[in-house]
Amino acid sequence: MMKSFLHRAVFVMIVLGALCAGTALPAFAAPAAPPVPPPPVAPAAAAAPAPAPAVPAAPAAAVQEPTFTPTESWSGAVTQLQSADRMTVDHGGTATDIRLYGVDAPEPGQPHADEAKKIVTTGVTGQAVKVDVLTKDNLGVAVAIVTLSDGRNLSHTLLEAGLAWWDLANAPSDRDLKKLHALAIAGGKNIWADPAPLAPWDFRSSHGGEQFKYSVKAKEEAAAPVEKKEEPKKDEPKKVSAKGNEVYVGTFTVPADIKLPKDVTPESLLVQHMPSIAKDASGKPIGMAIPNISGIPFATQFGFKDGDIISQVNGMPVQDPAQIMSMAPQFKNVKQFNVQVLRGGQPANITINVP
């Protein structure tokens, strides 16, 4: 049998490029912070803020220079916290509604909503935050990068703690958010310790909530000539379509004693081979594209080639990297994986047997 630390289904998923290691590793949930009071309301002319209560803070994220050109910036106290990713910040005596850029936190009533809100409360209580407004969403709410007094990017902090989703629909090209989201999934943190977490946009749809949309421009994009805007980005999803009849690649058996090399971890594979969703000409998802899939241990031995797009696993369409989190538990005792890939636009079938 395979080693206990490497679940058969998760191992096969790694080979497929889904890289869903979180289901095979212990769930490292962040310790619960003690209760803290709600953020104080800051008057127009506030005295120096009181020191924050001594409470555990979220793990520090690697904060970089802002990627985007802000439309305006200021510092102020958080006067109200509607949810982990929505707050009111004092702007020279004016209460300004802010939505965190690039993340979508659990809605009130969802699992982990209170934990997400608590980690934000801890970071903003008694402290001014820096607000870099990037744009406004379709609901008229300012979308901003919020930086805590200790220099942490609040969006990064929530993602790193596994207490928010990467907002792929509105910030598709932000590689920092993508990386932190992937690492949280791999580590099985908080939201990702649940077998099938419900995304907040799906929760809003089922509860009649409003969906928000926005777009922002990077510094280099805003300064570039108009004609350069048409150049495809490096991480832009491939657009292909299936054609012709399905071909059979072969049947492969996973050796009973197989394991990853000592210097390779599921987390490192996840960061190195960032999967993206490939789309057809109409924009419809058709599968998962894995950059340099041949670099994943054992992938070539199991019939995969660079350029393959994984479209189905045991008849289940693969249309979202986070979707694998809910797929893996269903494969707990499965011993045969029928994988359909698109190779050169043509469907091909690979069968993998697991002892």
For residue 265, the domain's CATH number is 2.30.42.10
Q: Is 225 contained in some domain?
A: no
First to last CA, the chain: 6
Domain stops at, among 189, 217, 245: 217
Confidence of residue 330 (pLDDT cuts 50, 70, 90): low
Same domain for 198 and 142: yes
Same domain for 197 and 114: yes
pLDDT of residue 185: 84
Residue 230 has pLDDT above 60, yes or no: no
Same domain for 346 and 281: yes
pLDDT of residue 249: 74
Q: 56-77 pLDDT, tens per residue?
A: 343 443 444 456 778 899 999 9
Residue 13 has pLDDT above 60, yes or no: no
Same domain for 77 and 21: no
Residue 24 has pLDDT above 60, yes or no: no
The helix/strand count (H/E) of the chain reads as: 8, 14
pLDDT, the chain, mean: 74
Q: Are strands 316-317 and 128-136 parallel, antiparallel or unpaired?
A: unpaired
pLDDT of residue 112: 96
Number of domains in the chain: 2
Confidence of residue 26 (pLDDT cuts 50, 70, 90): very low
The rounded distance, in Å, linking the Cα atoms of 43 and 145 is 23
Same domain for 266 and 174: no
Q: Is 258 contained in some domain?
A: yes
- Take residue 6 and report the two structure tokens written for it: 């490497």
Q: Is 161 contained in some domain?
A: yes
Q: Is 182 contained in some domain?
A: yes
DSSP labels for 135-201? Answer: EE-TTSPEEEEEE-TTS-BHHHHHHHTT-SEE-TTT-TT-HHHHHHHHHHHHHT-GGGGSSSPPPHH
Q: Is 320 contained in some domain?
A: yes
**Which stretch of DSSP H or E encloses residue 270?**
helix 266-272
Which amino acid would we find at residue 227?
E
Query: Which residues, other chains included, contact 219 with Cβ-Cβ below 8 Å and sequence gap of 6+?
Result: 67, 68, 69
Domain that holds residue 250: 8-27+233-353
The arithmetic mean of pLDDT across residues 298-313, rounded, is 84
pLDDT of residue 32: 35
